[in-house]
Each structure stands twice: as structure tokens, then as C-alpha cells.
Structure 1
Amino acid sequence: MEAGWSIRKAGVEDLDGLVRLRFALLRTTRGVEKLQGEEALEEATRRYFAQEIPAGRFHAWVGVAEGRLVACSGLAPFSRPPMPDTLASLEAYILNMYTEPQWRGRGIARALFLELVRFSRELGVGRLLLHATPDGRPLYESVGFAPNPTYLEWPLPRK
């Protein structure tokens, strides 16, 4: 334990805390107190974590302080054909990085992030991807992440 906090891998027993922290992240990044369709989103998020964590398709680590979860991180590995710059077909997306405001600046996010990197190497991941908030960008750039202007995003409309 460092400076009153520790990190550990999360399991389904952490479902409530993972959902709470994810929703804090989503509300903060969108600048809202309540998310559109929040009740349905919460149910879908709980179902996702409950299915994907035990199946090994989503990995989460949490920061713990004063007996409760104060930070979270997530890693979603996926496979695609090898690329010229990486022959490893396994890549991973980092998401769900969030630390409660009163616990920021203590190194928790960096410790969680470095654990994601360590685990990714253990899995044989060839590339890590993420979307960064302005607050998170300095951390990611400090370890070598660089912007990638080559891709576009299109959320498929719901039918």
C-alpha cells in the first residue's frame, strides 16, 4: 500500500464500484449530472461487466483507499489481422480510466495504467489504443502514446 491506497485486479464482486466509477467518468466527460437513458445504460453496463470480466474479455483494476474503490481502469483485448508495424494480432483498448477528484495527483492512475501495460505485455498485446481526456493525456503521452489521426469513428444509428 502506498500513501493510503493500493491497487488490485477487479472481479465481479466489484461490480457496484465499477459501475459507480464508470458513471462518474461518463458524467464528468459529458458535463452532465444525469446521463440520457441512465437506467437502461446502468443495466447494460452491469450486464457487460458481469459477463465480460469472468470470460476474460474485459480486465479491470481498481484503486482502493479507506476501504472503498476510488479509481478504476479497464482493458478490452481484441484480435485482428497483423499489421506491417506489429505482427501481433492481439491488440487492446484501454478505457474506463477514472479517479475520484479527491484522490487525484497521488499516483493512483499511473499505477493502474502501468499495471494495464504490464498485463498487456503478459498477454502478448502488440498495440494499445485509447481515447484520452484532456486531464488524462499528459499521463499517456509521458509513457509514449502519440496521437493517431488516421481513423474515423461512426457510431451506428440504432434501429
Structure 2
Amino acid sequence: MEAGWSIRKAGVEDLDELIRLRLALLRSTREVERFEDEEALVAKTRRYLERAIPEGRFHAWVAEAEGRLVASSGIMPFERPPVPGNMAGLEMHILNMYTEPGWRGRGIARALFTELMRFSREQGAGRIWLHATDEGRPLYESVGFKPNPTALEWTPPEGA
């Protein structure tokens, strides 16, 4: 345990807390107190994690302090055809990096991120990517992540 907290890999037994921390992240990045259809979001997230964690499609690490979870992180492995620079074709998408405000500035996010990077290297990932908040960007840049302005994103229209 470091400075009153410890890091461990999360499992399905942590679903309630993983969802709570994910909602806190989403609320903070979207600047809302509550989502219009939050109950459905929680239910669908639970169903996803119940399948994805045991199947190895989603991995999470958490920080525990004072008997509860105060931070979380997640990573999703996926494969694509090999390309120059990633002949393995294995990529990792980092997401759900969140630390409760009262626990920030203690090295928790860096410790979680270190676990994600260790896992990615062990799996042989040729590319690791993420979407960063302004607050999180210095951590990622400090270990060599660089912006990639070439991606485009499509979202289906409401109701589609």
C-alpha cells in the first residue's frame, strides 16, 4: 500500500464501483449532474461489463483507499490487420481513467496508468491509444503519447 492506497486488477465483483466511477467520469467530462436516461446507461454498462470482463474484452484496474474504490482505469484490446509500425496488429484502447477529486495529486492515476502500460507490453500491443482530458494530458505526454489529428468519428443521429 502506497500513501494510504493500493492498486489491484478489478473483477466482476467490482461492477457497482466500476459503474459508479465511470458515471462520475462521464458526468465530469460532459458537465452534467445526471444523464437523462441514466438508469438505462447503468443497466447497459452492467450487461457489457458482465460479459466483457470474463471474456477478456475489457480489463480494469482500481485504486482502493480507506476500504473503498477511489479511482479506476480500463483497457480494451483488439486486433486489426498488421500495418507498418504495428506488425502484431494488436492495439489497446485506454479508457475510464478517473480519480475522485479528493484523491487526485497523490500518484494514483500514474500508478493505474503504469499497470495499463505493463499489461499492454505483456500482451504484445503494437499501438496504445486514448482520448485525454486537458487534466489528464500531461500524464500521457510525460510517457511519450502524442496527439493524432487524423481520426474522424461518426455518431448515428438520435433515434437511429
Share of identical aligned residues, percent?
72
In the other structure, the counterpart of 2:143 is 143
SS at match of 2:14: helix
SS at match of 2:27: helix
Question: Aligned partners of 1:23, 1:142: CA distance in 2, in Å?
Answer: 27
TM-score (norm 1): 0.98
Is the aligned partner of 1:134 residue 2:134?
yes
Is the aligned partner of 1:90 residue 2:94?
no
In the other structure, the counterpart of 1:119 is 119
TM-score (norm 2): 0.97
Superposition RMSD in Å: 0.8
Q: Is the 8 A contact 2:85 2:126 kept in 1?
A: no
Question: Aligned partners of 2:137, 2:53: CA distance in 1, in Å?
Answer: 26
Question: Aligned partners of 1:4, 1:44: CA distance in 2, in Å?
Answer: 33
SS at match of 1:98: strand
| Number of residue-to-residue matches in the alignment | 159
| Cα-to-partner distance string for 1:41-67 (whole Å, 9 max, x where unaligned) | 000011111110011110000000000
In the other structure, the counterpart of 1:156 is 156
SS at match of 2:53: helix
Unaligned 5+ segments in structure 2 are none
The AA in structure 2 aligned to 1:52 is A
How many Å apart are 1:156 and its aligned residue?
A: 2.6
Question: Aligned partners of 1:43, 1:27: CA distance in 2, in Å?
Answer: 17
| Cα-to-partner distance string for 1:80-118 (whole Å, 9 max, x where unaligned) | 011112211110100000000000000000000010000
Is the aligned partner of 1:18 residue 2:45?
no
In the other structure, the counterpart of 2:59 is 59
In the other structure, the counterpart of 1:38 is 38
Q: Is the 8 A contact 2:77 2:92 kept in 1?
A: yes
Q: Which runs of 4+ in 1 moved over 2 A?
A: 156-159
How many Å apart are 1:36 and its aligned residue?
A: 2.7
Unaligned 5+ segments in structure 1 are none
